[in-house]
Structure 1
Amino acid sequence: MTLAIETIDLTHRYNKKLVALDRLNLRVEQGCIYGFIGPNGAGKTTTLRILAGLLSPTKGEVRLLGERLTTRAAQRLVGYMPDFFGVYDDLRVWEYLDFFARCYGLRGARLRQVVDELLDLVDLAGKRDAFVQTLSRGMQQRLCLAHALVHDPPVLLLDEPASGLDPRARVELRELLRTLRDMGKTIMLSSHILSELAEVCDAIGIIDHGRMIISGPLAEVQQQLATGARARLRIARESDVVLALALLQRHPLVSAASAAAADPRALMIDFSEPLNEEQCAAILAELVNAGVAVSEFSARSENLEELFLRLTATTGQTNS
């Protein structure tokens, strides 16, 4: 299948010292929601601006749906929603979309049809005659997303689309993104709300210092980087804590074990490799057979936020 987005050794320098992107290689399949993750200054916004045709790379190549990027191709293939967007407060909602649709050459009945369909899609039909300045933050976000869709692009680039939204608005945005994916759109979005990305994205890429650390389907990335699962134990008798720690710290699969500061009977365990259910059961049985009364045992893998923090823990930040 032709990739929706592909970059080849993409490099961008703002000056001799500031390298925003350093030979970035990115591959996004068609019809997926791709989460682009990185700390502030990692190069996310620079990447999206290049993909949107708003910024020329210093070196490297960009392909959209197999077509080498040019300004005209980007305008035709991409809908871009920046992290800070301008709205015209003195326009009504339908006038706002009408204006941008005319910029793309839409006229007459087709123009009116597109405006009406987009208002329905983003659930703003009931606000069509309201002034833009009266809309809530979430409604303005949806209106700007409709603006990015006026020319029906196959690829959407969304820079921090959930920024500043309340929980209900984030849920509504998440459902809208799923609807757009079901319509065949490829969506690439950057975000710091990692729990939201885990729920909506099919694939993720983690970038730091302008370089891609890892990229791929979400489940595969989590599995590939699962260098150590974790478990939490609660010991019924405080007198058993020392024995439990001694047994765990000698276990070949345990890399670290310690008591929680807030609760000395709660033990946190890091394993040197992800454990299956039989291995967890064997460790629990070993503790019980040694006379340790265990009242709670819960194993878990790293979530997306923990994975991100671990991968970027040793790196600094640069400006993008």
Structure 2
Amino acid sequence: MIQIKGVTKKYGNFKALDDINLSLEEGTVFGFVGANGAGKSTMFLILATLLQPTSGELFINGISVRKNPTEIRKMIGYMPDFFGVYDQLKAEEYLDFYAASYGISDSERQKIIPQLLELVNLTHKRYEYVDLLSRGMKQRLCLARSLIHDPKVLILDEPASGLDPRARVEMRDILKSLKKMGKTILISSHILPELAEMCDEIGVIDNGKIIAHGSVSEIQTQLRGEKVITVNMMKAIEQQTIHFFEENPFIMNIEKLEMNNGISFSFKGTDDDQVDLLKNAMANDIPILSFTEHVTNLEDVFMEITKGASEDEA
């Protein structure tokens, strides 16, 4: 569905994007995460045909973004990070204006607009003036605007930016509904946990480069390279128990817990290696009460990724 091949964007000697390569299947929800200024918006502007890359090619459904911008605009819905609204229009009129701009007939507009307002939970605000809507409502209205021509691809730049917790949940639920409809969705954010629940894949971008790509769990594994596991016993730990864990080639940094009935350690093996470890421990009559893998804090992962990339640049 989407192919990005060697896309670079330069401003003088500065590279806003540096050799971006990415391939996404139809129906994928992909999240670009990175700090402000990392290159997320630049990438989205190029995909939305609003900015030309210095080099590289992009294709949506086999059509070149650079060579056929008019065709591409029929296929995408773009929601920028800073959106504009016409304050003197009511919500319904606002959508009607954009639908007419896409050449949608009056009879079709009368069907589509109520459906879109229902999708973004704004049916009760259809006759409200846009300038009287809250920020969250305005963003949902702009999302409805990007859907007015039923695009195959949605490009959403920071759709949850500046929203309160309740509005974030509402936006997330709407995006989940769009995912079920089979839309291919690209979302950007500078907050990794914000994307974790709704995305099939995530790309971490820093200084114009994609430095990690995969599911959240894959990114954690490839960058952290280890898991932290806590094992609690039914009785005080004996030296032979410590020796059992020390002999495992995937275990390091063993620490006794304060209660003296447990240990924690770093584990660099696979999930299968972890299963084998537990099986062998039980076979050796080690009285395990609990065996817990700790979930890595996503913010810590993001900080570690970008720190590593910065050190490589230096």
Is TM-score (shorter-chain normalized) higher than 0.5? yes
| AA in 1 matched with 2:36 | N
SS at match of 1:165: coil
Q: Could you give the per-residue CA deviations for residues 118-163 of structure 1, whole angstroms, max 9, x where no partner exists?
A: 1122111111011222222221111010011112211100111112
SS at match of 2:265: strand
In 2, Cα distance between equivalents of 1:41 and 1:232 = 39
Alignment coverage as a number of residue pairs: 306
Which residue is equivalent to 2:17? 21
Instruction: Pick closer, same or farther for the CA change 1:152–1:102 going to 2, 3 Å.
Output: same
Which residue is equivalent to 1:315? 309
Q: Could you give the per-residue CA deviations for residues 81-121 of structure 1, whole angstroms, max 9, x where no partner exists?
A: 11121222232111111222222222421222222221122
Residue 303 (structure 1) shift: 5.7
Which residue is equivalent to 1:299? 293
Tell me if structure 1 keeps the 8 A contact 2:130–2:138. yes
In 2, Cα distance between equivalents of 1:245 and 1:21 = 50
| AA in 2 matched with 1:253 | F
Residue 29 (structure 1) shift: 1.0
Which residue is equivalent to 2:32? 36
Residue 58 (structure 1) shift: 0.5
Gaps of 5+ in 1: none
The 5 Å alignment of 1:169-318 reads 169-217=167-215, 221=219, 227-232=225-230, 252-257=249-254, 268-274=264-270, 275-280=273-278, 282=280, 297-300=291-294, 302=296, 304-316=298-310
Which residue of 76, 82, 85 maps to 1:84?
A: 82
Which residue of 125, 128, 133 maps to 1:127?
A: 125
In 2, Cα distance between equivalents of 1:252 and 1:94 = 64
Instruction: Pick closer, same or farther for the CA change 1:85–1:150 going to 2, 3 Å.
Output: same
Instruction: Pick closer, same or farther for the CA change 1:20–1:245 going to 2, 3 Å.
Output: farther
1:64 aligns with 2:57: no
Gaps of 5+ in 2: none
Tell me if structure 2 keeps the 8 A contact 1:249–1:256. no
Which residue of 42, 46, 51 maps to 2:42?
A: 46
Instruction: Pick closer, same or farther for the CA change 1:101–1:269 going to 2, 3 Å.
Output: same
Tell me if structure 2 keeps the 8 A contact 1:247–1:287. no
SS at match of 1:276: helix
SS at match of 1:190: strand
1:147 aligns with 2:145: yes
RMSD: 3.2
| AA in 2 matched with 1:7 | I
Residue 37 (structure 1) shift: 1.8
SS at match of 2:26: coil
Instruction: Pick closer, same or farther for the CA change 1:252–1:219 going to 2, 3 Å.
Output: closer
Tell me if structure 1 keeps the 8 A contact 2:9–2:54. yes
In 1, Cα distance between equivalents of 2:283 and 2:36 = 45
Which residue is equivalent to 1:73? 71
In 1, Cα distance between equivalents of 2:286 and 2:266 = 19
Tell me if structure 2 keeps the 8 A contact 1:230–1:299. yes
Which residue of 162, 165, 172 maps to 2:163?
A: 165
Identical pairs, percent? 42
Higher relative contact order (CA closer than 8 Å, sequence separation 6+)? 1
